[in-house]
Chains A and B, each alone.
Chain A
């Protein structure tokens, strides 16, 4: 949009100082290879009366432009994430449902028909036995394969975007899990404001309300079950692991929302805590991978 070859013009070049839209855009979009004595050049060019006037104009323009840029970036990002992760889930759920339907249908034509998305992909590529002359079946298989591809692409999008929105949260959890938590809470700010006990059971609302109504045990974990530190811990200690993970993820979400700075130490602290939990002696032999003793 702007002329990159004009390496040495200031943000104020060819702009009417009264045109707020143009000045804010110039601050945001222009580039230059080397800095120059902009205050003096702006005065020479008649953009400002003197240095004092220049700095006053610069202050006004940078504040206005930066405020706009911040507003845009903040609004865009976590909402984009929320929609993309939901779309990803919808695509993969639908692909799976249709793959089941397809397997059932194809089974009536070809006794060797497979199941699942992979089978749909082979059918769509036309690699399966060509007894399946029915074009309607192949066409359905193509839809399934497309939907599955779409889900994969959305996952890549989430992997790429989440670290920009929530750097600490996605360092501690997989970007996909981080995005899911943000989506379940309704946004990064909402997630940052939730107590860690709530984060621990996000995604397990059914079980939680059954418990609150008094006819079920309290859920130990919601969606954070997919975190390696929870899943990789012996069931007996999983509650503790879930609590530790939820605690650190809550802190990460708060740092991301309120400060945005990267805190690599959170990761090390969580790893240390999980190691302690996993090293605990469990009540039966199944936990022996941690070197645990029998009763």
Chain B
């Protein structure tokens, strides 16, 4: 599989195995190799998307809007290789950890906001961001992506991890994914999808661009 890793993301050996890594302050007790710290695809859907070889279009240095930042595990890696990174998370508890991550990352902007209400942060997040990364565990994940399309540049990318169980625990994940893809196509062209099964049960990775 061809490797299309963004600048600032490299494979480094940790305990004898090659793993994804970025350069920055460690935040969650991950193994380090000099300045490089391992990026665990089991704890990060974006990490898993890179690991399974999806063409994310990431090159490094992008302006990023990250929806569903949680405690900042993935966001910290994104901020390591990307440019200005806006991190939106609605739950107060994980944001406490996210703030610690932001302490050593000057271009990471933590926001305690609801990703379903973009107007509550459109006065902060700039227009024409290069990438939206979305990992929100709520119902209506396609809707969230559509609502936030207003931030994305016309040639930008949406990197979306859909959690089937957040939409409906009782339905077949495949049926949930089909619905999400259909709704998503109201505003996006889907470029690639891949199950993240080896790392995250019932998750689908989607790469899309605005229509």
Contacts and interface: CB of A to CB of B under 8 A. Distances in A.
B96 interface: yes
Interface string A1-26: 00000000111000000000000001
Kindly name the residue among A35, A36, A38, A267 whose own CB sees the greatest number of chain B CB atoms within 10 A. A35
Given A35-B151, A63-B102, A262-B138, 11 more contacts: A11-B123, A31-B119, A34-B122, A35-B150, A58-B109, A62-B109, A62-B110, A257-B93, A260-B93, A264-B169, A268-B169
Interface in B104-131: 106-112, 119-120, 122-128
A11 B169 CA distance: 39
Contacts, number: 106
How many residues of B sit at the interface, in one of the four size bands? 35 or more
Contacts of A105: none
Contact of A260 (B91, B110, B125, B166): B91
A108 interface: no
Nearest to A27: B124
Contact of B107 (A55, A66, A258): A55
A15 B93 CA distance: 30
Contacts of A70: 92, 95-96, 99, 112
B127 A66 contact: no
Contacts of A36: 126-127
Given A35-B150, A63-B99, A256-B93, A262 B166 contact: yes
9 contacts: A35-B125, A37-B127, A55-B106, A62-B102, A63-B103, A69-B112, A70-B95, A70-B112, A74-B93
Contact of B124 (A62, A77, A265): A62
B84 interface: yes
A260 B102 contact: no
Contact of A35 (B106, B127, B165): B127
A263 to B, nearest CB: 8
Contacts of A58: 109, 124
Nearest to B202: A265
Contacts of B92: 69-70, 73-74, 77, 260
A33 B119 contact: yes
B70 interface: yes
Q: Which of B108, B111, B122 has the most CB of A within 10 A?
A: B122
A261 B165 CA distance: 13
Main secondary structure of the interface of A (DSSP, over half): helix
B69 to A, nearest CB: 11
Interface in A164-190: none
Contacts of A265: 165, 169
B128 A37 contact: yes
Nearest to A75: B92
B56 interface: no
Contact of B111 (A37, A66, A262, A264): A66
A9 B91 contact: no
A70 to B, nearest CB: 5
Nearest to B125: A35
B137 interface: yes
B94 interface: yes
Given A55-B107, A66-B111, A261-B94, A10 B99 contact: no
Given A11-B123, A31-B120, A63 B93 contact: no
Contacts of B165: 264-265
Contacts of B125: 35, 38
Contacts of B119: 31-33
B141 interface: no
A58 to B, nearest CB: 6
B71 interface: yes
A55 B82 CA distance: 14
A276 interface: no
A132 B175 CA distance: 65
Interface centre among A39, A66, A265, A268 (most CB of B within 10 A): A66
A83 interface: no
B82 to A, nearest CB: 13
B102 A55 contact: no
B150 A34 contact: yes
A56 interface: yes
Contacts of A227: none
A59 interface: yes
A59 B102 contact: yes
